[in-house]
């Protein structure tokens, strides 16, 4: 007879969703292919290894940091263009 404690903590089979938001699956994200110099690919690999983050998360954080460093007017322009792209998608 199964223990009631083990029944209430049943694990789902497979890897849990690991997207940016709760319940999102990375598999459902659009793919992006970018050519970068070998040194940048090596740096991305190293950053992912040292931080323990997935490569896509390192890139997302780098983009967020880049946008945060822009002047306010440029950040607003980026936000508007991003919103327009999302509406069109």
Q: Give tens-digit pLDDT for 6-40.
A: 556 776 665 555 676 666 777 788 899 999 999 99
Q: Is residue 81 part of a domain?
A: yes
Look-up: residue for tokens 């940091």?
65
pTM for the full model? 0.71
**Alpha-carbon dihedral of residues 25, 29, 34, 39, nearest 10 degrees?**
-20
**Residue 51, token pair as written in the block:** 């931080």
Q: Is residue 61 part of a domain?
A: yes
Tens-digit pLDDT profile for residues 50-63:
999 999 999 999 99
**Residue 87, token pair as written in the block:** 């509406």
Total count of domains within the chain = 1
Q: Is residue 29 part of a domain?
A: yes
Domain that holds residue 64: 17-88
Q: Is residue 12 part of a domain?
A: no
């Amino acid at each position: 007879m199964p223990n009631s404690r083990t029944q209430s903590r049943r694990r789902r089979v497979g890897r849990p969703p690991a997207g940016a938001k709760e319940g999102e699956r990375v598999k459902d994200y659009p793919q992006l292919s970018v050519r970068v110099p070998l040194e940048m690919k090596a740096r991305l690999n190293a950053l992912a290894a040292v931080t323990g983050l997935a490569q896509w998360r390192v890139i997302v954080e780098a983009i967020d940091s880049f946008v945060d460093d822009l002047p306010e007017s440029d950040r607003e322009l980026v936000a508007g263009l991003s919103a327009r792209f999302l509406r069109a998608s």
